[in-house]
Amino acid sequence: MSALNRVALITGGGGGIGAALCTAIAATGTRVAVVDRDETAAHRVAQALGDRAVAIAGDISTEAGCTAVVHATEQRLGPVDILINNAGIGLSALRPDGERNLPDLQEVTPEIFDRFIAINLRGPFLMTRLVTPGMRERGWGRVINNTTSFFTMLRTFPYGALKASLEAASAVWATELEGTGVTVNILVPGGPTDTAFIGDGSGMDRATMLRPEVMGPPAAWLASPGSDGFTGKRIIAAYWDPTLDADAAMAKAAMPIGWPELAQATRVWPKAAD
């Protein structure tokens, strides 16, 4: 399958990491659906990428929104071959200093928790569920999920805990789809990234943050036929060396999804019934 015939759907594509991902994928010749709830931002990114990109306004926090986004992509570009679940909501959405003064259990109301679930976990689940049947039928597809660092998973609630859930789900999906031609991988920057996702009240020096463009080279490779059979892995973009060939860069930046070493802590596992 040539890049000219592939279609990528990238959520949260209107800025920051999402815009960097759209740019990198479009540069391979792939047609890109720039999906964002901010229609103006989506159009700005799509226009910068030229006639191989379209802007699609949509909210992936609801089933109806996810369905509408996939339908619009199929109508304008064709079936989705590459899904990048990048849209998310972080602690800075609660208050500007949310990354520095972490919310406690009482601050996270059920309504806030439901909102974080809808965007950070349920949305990627729904999007993956919608597009993978077609990928399986065609015998080729890519699902790339943006989670977060292990440090953040164990430090922040609800953001980190829900990204840990998405990471575990990705491991399950990779196993389910193994051998179908559809791969499921995780791609993370590797640290705080200089985007609007992190508020100015975070207390972090933006000059020391990663640039969102760090996600581009590994994303382009994961979305390519060159990564056929490469699944169930977590890529840390900051460790990806674009001066190396893909195999060497992968060896430096990749590890299994999740925390397989914890399996060693399971001393007894029930045997299947005869």
Radius of gyration of the chain measured on its C-alpha atoms = 18
- Whose structure tokens read 């709830």? 37
Task: Say if residue 132's pLDDT is above 90.
Answer: yes
Residue 224 lies in a domain: yes
Residue 254 lies in a domain: yes
Residue 270 lies in a domain: no
Look up the domain containing 194 and give its range: 3-265
pLDDT of residue 38: 95
Q: What does pLDDT average to over the chain?
A: 90
Residue 273 lies in a domain: no
Task: Say if residue 135's pLDDT is above 70.
Answer: yes
Per the annotation, the verdict on 239 as an active-site residue is: no
Instruction: Give the model's confidence band at 109: pLDDT under 50 very low, under 70 low, under 90 confident, else very high.
Output: very high
**Percent of the chain at pLDDT exceeding 90:** 72
Residue 37 lies in a domain: yes
Task: Taking residues 143-154, report their average pLDDT.
Answer: 91
Quote the longest CA-to-CA distance of the chain: 61
Count the domains in the chain.
Answer: 1
Reported as type and span, the H/E element at residue 235 is strand 233-236
Task: Say if residue 148's pLDDT is above 90.
Answer: no
Handedness of CA 163, 156, 17, 74 (dihedral sign): positive
Distance CA 25, CA 32 (A): 7
pLDDT in tens, 69-107: 999 999 999 999 999 999 999 888 888 887 778 889 999
Residue 226 lies in a domain: yes
pLDDT in tens, 184-236: 999 999 877 666 666 676 666 667 777 888 999 999 999 999 999 999 999 99
pTM of the predicted structure, to 2 decimals: 0.92
What is the DSSP track for 42-90? HHHHHHHHGGGEEEEE--TTSHHHHHHHHHHHHHHT-S-SEEEE-----
Residue 274 lies in a domain: no
Residue 272 lies in a domain: no
Provide the 10 A C-beta neighbour count for residue 248.
11
pLDDT of residue 149: 85
Here the CATH number for the domain that contains residue 66 is 3.40.50.720
- Whose structure tokens read 């040539």? 2
Task: Say if residue 24's pLDDT is above 80.
Answer: yes
CA 33 to chain CA mean position, Å: 14
Handedness of CA 55, 67, 227, 30 (dihedral sign): negative
- Which candidate in 116, 157, 159, 230 is catalytic? 159
pLDDT of residue 151: 84
